[in-house]
């Protein structure tokens, strides 16, 4: 299981030797010398994957700071501490967190381009070469998708840097960029693995490609590119293909998948986690580490910072009243998502009163579930989900409803599979609009705190309305006083239409003279 991680660690050391704007990605050895055999190619592929396992991408900045503050999740700190920050919707074009996420994603794209351009010269079995190239092509497209969904119109880099002086590139309109991403991903369906990696969620495989394609197609179908029917049809096709493969299922225990991700154990029986970013976590305490802070910046309240305790979390992200009110009292996901207790510095459990709702922190990532000792205070071994089977089922239900302008039997089957696992009653007999709203609520219940909600709100065309509703609910008598809970209201008051997408980093505009700032910024 750890093979990819230790290869990644070596890849990190290679990547640290160079800057994104260097003409060679691995400046300690030329690409002509490096891509000679299968081991070289696998190491290079690990370097492409490594972009995800950085603090700038899924380790913290992109996954949490940029993508995990919405109407259901708010930043639990005084409003004064979120001034100028992206998690407070008070950032500007010079924000360093925004720039660091941008630059790390384009570093991943550069690594993929170099591998794609060089692998044909390597002496490798053709089947292996095809698989490696397919994974690299998919990752290049996926990194572009992460940039497109967050920043909108961005440069599409299809070639590695050959000459920095000629590297300026105009932005591709979002619709055109998404169409290219879809086309690229479709090409890899027959290239990536469809058997060996079935029970290994750290690798890209056929069902992962199809599941992510469903996500990209739903993005293209909705606002602001408004591709509509053809893309809903594509999304339904790809989501159904994952379902029909019968390689994934929902674990009956809603907690088990999260416990396994926290303790770095794969669930080979259900394979609900289809693709996850792997982290290892003790840094200087054992010499092996990646830049993962899952469980530390996002996760339940834990206050033991010693190496032998249950772990420390800053609990920056909490659930709003909107999230709480989505759950029935018997929904098994409620206490999973909004933890009913906190753990003090002596590892003693203290349960919240019934009236203490917003005080609950995100519960999906809990350091008490980690198995690695000694524990580092700030860096963890907890993996982060990129796509899981419940998401695929809900995308299938959504696409079926949109394509047919009415919920189909397949749409009901998909959404009710998710609901029944959660212990809540199945739905039936709904109109198109009723099912659409129920589906949106179900995605909130199932997928909160997973870096998806903001982008759902944007593609549904309701982002600013949803954040306004968050502001209004802070006047509810159940919303607590205290400065830690003031950011939600400030976040809503600061939110404007421009916050649907991020600004192009000012540093990037200074380098890429062909690029213009997003209009509302």
Provide the domain count of the chain.
1
> Which of helix, strand or coil describes residue 349?
strand
Helix 389-404 to helix 409-422 angle, to the nearest 10 degrees?
150
Residue 172, sorted as left (phi over 0), alpha (psi -120 to 50) or beta, turns out to be beta
Encode burial over 313-345: b for 16+ CB neighbours within 10 A, e otherwise: bbbbbbbbbbbbebbeeebbbbebbbbeebbee
Q: What is the pLDDT of residue 1?
A: 41
Residue 297 to residue 285: CA distance in whole angstroms: 19
In a domain, 305, yes or no: yes
- Position 467 in a domain: no
Distance CA 204, CA 185 (A): 11
pTM of the full structure: 0.94
Angle, helices 38-49 vs 3-15, to 10°: value is: 80
Q: For position 33, what pLDDT does the model report?
A: 57
Instruction: For residue 399, count other CB atoms closer than 10 A to its CB.
Output: 28
The pLDDT, as a whole number, for residue 505 is 98
Residue 243 falls within a domain, yes or no?
no
- C-alpha 260/C-alpha 298 separation (Å) is 17
**CA separation for the pair 248, 267 (Å, rounded):** 10
- Angstrom distance (rounded) from CA 397 to CA 375: 41
In a domain, 363, yes or no: yes
The separation between the first and the last C-alpha atoms of the chain, rounded to the nearest angstrom, is 44
Q: By residue range, what is the domain housing residue 303?
A: 279-382
Q: Does any domain span residue 81?
A: no
Of 241, 51, 46, 228, nearest in space to 146 by CA: 51
**42 within some domain:** no
Find, among 363, 371, 379, 377, the residue nearest to 294 by Cα: 379
Q: Is 163 helix (H, G, I), strand (E, B) or coil?
A: coil
Buried b / exposed e along 268-278 (16+ C-beta atoms within 10 A): eebbbbbbbbb
Question: If the chain, 521 residues long, is cut into consecutive pieces of 10 residues, what is the mean pLDDT of each piece?
Answer: 48 35 36 74 94 97 98 98 98 98 98 95 93 98 98 97 81 98 98 94 97 99 98 98 98 98 94 96 76 96 96 97 97 98 98 98 98 92 97 99 98 98 98 98 98 98 98 98 95 98 97 95 97
Q: Nearest CA to 192 among 133, 146, 145?
A: 133
335 falls within a domain: yes
DSSP-assigned letter for residue 504: P
CA distance 175 to 172: 8
The tokens of 518 are what?
Answer: 């997003």
Q: Is residue 447 part of a domain?
A: no
Beta strand 311-313 with 317-319 is: unpaired
């Amino acid at each position: 299981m750890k093979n990819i991680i230790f290869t990644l660690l070596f890849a990190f050391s290679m990547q640290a030797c160079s800057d994104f704007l260097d003409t060679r990605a691995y400046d300690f050895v030329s690409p002509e010398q490096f891509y000679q055999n299968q081991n070289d190619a696998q190491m290079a592929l690990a370097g492409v994957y490594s972009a995800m396992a950085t603090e700038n991408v899924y380790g913290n900045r992109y996954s949490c700071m940029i993508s995990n503050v919405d109407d259901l999740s708010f930043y639990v700190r005084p409003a004064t501490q979120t001034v100028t920050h992206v998690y407070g919707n008070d950032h500007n074009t010079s924000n360093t967190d925004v720039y660091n996420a941008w630059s790390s994603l384009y570093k991943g794209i550069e690594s993929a381009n170099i591998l794609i351009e060089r692998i044909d010269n390597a002496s490798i079995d053709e089947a292996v070469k095809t698989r490696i190239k397919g994974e690299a092509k998919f990752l290049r497209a996926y990194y572009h998708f992460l940039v497109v969904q967050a920043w909108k119109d961005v440069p599409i880099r299809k070639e590695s840097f050959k000459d920095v002086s000629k590297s300026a590139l105009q932005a591709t309109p979002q619709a055109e960029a998404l169409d290219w991403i879809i086309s690229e991903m479709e090409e890899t369906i027959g290239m990536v693995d469809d058997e060996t990696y079935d029970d290994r969620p750290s690798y890209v495989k056929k069902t992962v490609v199809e599941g992510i394609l469903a996500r990209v197609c739903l993005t293209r179908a909705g606002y602001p590119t408004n591709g509509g029917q053809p893309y809903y049809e594509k999304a339904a096709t790809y989501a159904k293909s994952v379902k029909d493969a019968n390689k994934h299922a929902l674990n009956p225990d809603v907690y088990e998948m999260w416990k396994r991700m926290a303790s770095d154990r794969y669930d080979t029986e259900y394979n609900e986690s289809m693709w996850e970013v792997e982290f290892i976590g003790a840094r200087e305490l054992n010499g092996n580490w990646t830049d993962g802070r899952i469980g530390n910046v996002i996760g339940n309240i834990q206050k033991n910072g010693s190496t032998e305790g249950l772990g420390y979390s800053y609990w920056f992200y909490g659930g709003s009243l909107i999230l709480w009110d989505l759950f029935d009292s018997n929904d098994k996901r409620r206490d999973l998502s909004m933890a009913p207790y906190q753990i003090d510095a002596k590892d003693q459990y203290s349960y919240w009163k019934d009236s203490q709702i917003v005080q609950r922190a995100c519960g999906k990532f809990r350091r008490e579930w980690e198995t690695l000792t000694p524990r580092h205070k700030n860096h963890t071994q907890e993996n982060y989900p990129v796509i899981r089977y419940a998401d695929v089922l809900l995308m299938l239900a959504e696409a079926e409803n949109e394509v047919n302008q009415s919920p189909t039997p397949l749409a009901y089957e998909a959404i009710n599979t998710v609901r029944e696992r959660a212990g809540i009653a199945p739905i039936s007999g709904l109109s198109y609009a009723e099912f659409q709203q129920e589906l949106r609520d179900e995605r909130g219940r199932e997928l909160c705190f997973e870096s998806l909600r903001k982008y759902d709100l944007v593609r549904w065309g309701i982002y600013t309305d949803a954040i306004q509703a968050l502001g209004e609910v802070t006047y509810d008598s159940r919303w607590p006083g205290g400065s830690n809970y003031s950011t939600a209201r400030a976040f809503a008051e600061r939110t404007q239409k421009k916050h649907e997408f991020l600004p192009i980093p000012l540093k990037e505009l200074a380098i890429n003279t062909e690029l213009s700032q997003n209009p509302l910024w």
